[in-house]
Structure 1
Amino acid sequence: MELDGRVVVVTGGTRGVGAGIARSFLAAGARVVVCARRPPDEPVAAGDRTACFLPLDLRDPAAVAEFFAHVADRYGRLDCLVNNAGGTPYRLLGEGEAERHARVVALNLTAPMTASLAARPFLREARGSIVMIGSVSGTRPSPGTAAYGAAKAGLENLARSMAVEWAPEVRVNTLVPGMVRTELSHLHYGDESGIAAVGATVPLGRLAEPSDVGGAAVFLASDRAAYVSGASLLLHGGGERPAFLDAATANQT
């Protein structure tokens, strides 16, 4: 899965899952550009290789177009776009106006589409690929993050349509992670015992690490996935144990 000389853009690649993805591409030999509205607290690096940071507001289509033209001009090519930027606060549907929920959809669905359209001419020239970072929230009910779940479901469908429309020059796939341990996990799950308890609900017994997501993204961008397009790869450690199994009494002693 060597990606020597290839150029990769990771949106939202300055922390958490995005930084893990960027580090995995660096370790695979790629030249990596990470973008976000704010610079990282420390450089995103793997060994002696460091990602280039460029500021970008993905909600500004003109800035996005200028960004990708600059990357292609600076590096001479663009081989992969990883649409990772996104996120949402916890907010029940009835606790916010439609406009607030629409902003979540814009960040998690419209922004990746904007970036993909801007990157397409350069990816087509390199016969490159796009990796969308989805979420299991888009495959099941997502109470408290309904707009986010809807956007991620839409992102997965968008990727399938892109894969058909832009073939054979550009491959498009989606990674669908479950729970991932990042520097912000304590805000969601509590202290180490809380994180361990949540991890114990996963069949593989732990939360994913950012490097797990990064390794899968590197595979989808590599020549080993040359015939993989329009696919969704679940990365959730086996999923969730069905609640009815815990409620059932027939086989309990």
Structure 2
Amino acid sequence: MDEQPHAMDFTGRAVLVTGGTKGLGATIARAFLASGADVMACGRSTPAALPSTGGREAGFRVADLRDPVAVADVVAAASERFGRLDALVNNAGGSPDADAATVSPRFVEKVVALNLLAPSHTAQAANLAMREQPGGGSVINIGSVSAHTPQPGTAAYSAAKAGLLGLTRAPALEWAPRVGVNHITAGFIRTESAAALYGEEGGNAAVDVVPMGRPAEPDGVARACLWPACDLSSYVNGADLAVHGCGEIPARHTAAHRPTSL
């Protein structure tokens, strides 16, 4: 009997990763490359080096994902280059902290545009390509624990990421069964930007609030993206996959167990 390819083998499949040239996005791109996929990354500027592994390198297109025309172009470019588009990973996003009482309307608009409108534009364009091809496709939205438990300074970002959950579940209903849409709730990840948010040494100062006792390694989150895109999860749709080490220890527990001075 002929041996069947493993379900996590993405040979012959094509993946688009937004924000895929640095940090978590680059790691996601490398994870798909390592699994055999053809990968295109996109970002607002050309990087010094593209994600690569095992002698294979991702393609790249410059795109401002807040612009629906630019989004349509990058999706079309990926489909034309690879002959199909099997998975979209909506990874681009982020925001610096800002005081909700004084933040400018322009700041809020930019944060919502990047973290909610851009994924909407990209998913819509990808769906148009995927629904017409054999096998359909998969959209994976990278969300944040901030959607569930907002922190001070993250009002616009948390609102946008909460919206991304809705942008997962509603299209999942509409686009099934041809195109699946799933969500990954990510938490504290050890990336280059972690130090800016959580302190020096990659944010080690914040590990006491994480039940796992450490931040996530980017590869751990990246490999989680493979599952919603593969045949093993063919009946999983509209799901929210928690990849955050059980989130954060509740503040009330920390307060109740704080050592008391003698």
* Residue of structure 2 in register with 1:171 after alignment: 180
Structure 2: how far apart are the matches of 1:118 and 1:77? 13
Mapped pair 1:197 → 2:215: no
* Residue of structure 2 in register with 1:121 after alignment: 128
* Residue of structure 2 in register with 1:95 after alignment: 102
Cα displacement (A) at 1:251: 11
Mapped pair 1:71 → 2:82: no
Structure 2: how far apart are the matches of 1:105 and 1:134? 13
Cα displacement (A) at 1:59: 1.5
* Residue of structure 1 in register with 2:168 after alignment: 159
Cα displacement (A) at 1:70: 2.1
Select the structure with the greater relative contact order (CA < 8 A; seq sep ≥ 6).
1
Cα displacement (A) at 1:142: 2.7
* Residue of structure 1 in register with 2:91 after alignment: 84
* Residue of structure 1 in register with 2:60 after alignment: 53
SS of 1:129's equivalent in the other structure is: strand
Cα displacement (A) at 1:18: 0.6
**8 Å CA contact 2:199, 2:205 repeated in 1:** no
* Residue of structure 2 in register with 1:236 after alignment: 244
SS of 1:94's equivalent in the other structure is: coil
* Residue of structure 1 in register with 2:35 after alignment: 28
Cα displacement (A) at 1:249: 6.4
* Residue of structure 2 in register with 1:7 after alignment: 14
Cα displacement (A) at 1:201: 2.4
Runs of 4+ with >6 A deviation: 249-253
Q: Structure 2 unaligned segments of length 5 or more: list them.
A: 1-7
Q: Letter of the aligned partner of 1:231 in structure 2?
A: A
Cα displacement (A) at 1:160: 0.3
Cα RMSD over matched residues? Answer: 1.8
Of 42, 45, 49, which residue of structure 2 is paired with 1:42?
Answer: 49
Structure 1: how far apart are the matches of 2:233 and 2:94? 27
Structure 1-normalised TM-score?
0.94
Q: Letter of the aligned partner of 1:170 in structure 2?
A: V
Q: Structure 1 unaligned segments of length 5 or more: list them.
A: none
- CA gap 1:243/1:171 in 2 versus in 1, 3 angstroms: same
* Residue of structure 1 in register with 2:4 after alignment: none
Q: Letter of the aligned partner of 2:188 in structure 1?
A: M
SS of 1:93's equivalent in the other structure is: coil
Q: Letter of the aligned partner of 2:16 in structure 1?
A: V
Structure 1: how far apart are the matches of 2:37 and 2:258? 54
**8 Å CA contact 1:19, 1:210 repeated in 2:** no
Cα displacement (A) at 1:250: 11
SS of 1:245's equivalent in the other structure is: helix
* Residue of structure 2 in register with 1:212 after alignment: 220
Structure 2: how far apart are the matches of 1:13 and 1:151? 20
SS of 2:209's equivalent in the other structure is: coil
Q: Letter of the aligned partner of 1:15 in structure 2?
A: K
The worse-fitting range, judged by mean Cα deviation, of 35-44 and 77-86 is 35-44
Structure 2: how far apart are the matches of 1:69 and 1:43? 20
Cα offsets for 1:49-68 (capped at 9, x unmatched)? 11111111112111211221
The worse-fitting range, judged by mean Cα deviation, of 84-93 and 169-178 is 84-93
Cα offsets for 1:118-155 (capped at 9, x unmatched)? 11121112411000000000111232011010000000
Mapped pair 1:187 → 2:196: yes
- CA gap 1:59/1:249 in 2 versus in 1, 3 angstroms: closer
**8 Å CA contact 1:8, 1:31 repeated in 2:** yes
Structure 1: how far apart are the matches of 2:9 and 2:257? 51
* Residue of structure 1 in register with 2:5 after alignment: none
Of 140, 144, 151, which residue of structure 2 is paired with 1:131?
Answer: 140
Among the aligned pairs, what percent are the same residue? 49
Structure 2-normalised TM-score?
0.91
Cα displacement (A) at 1:30: 0.5
Q: Letter of the aligned partner of 1:102 in structure 2?
A: E
Q: Letter of the aligned partner of 1:32 in structure 2?
A: V
Cα displacement (A) at 1:23: 0.9
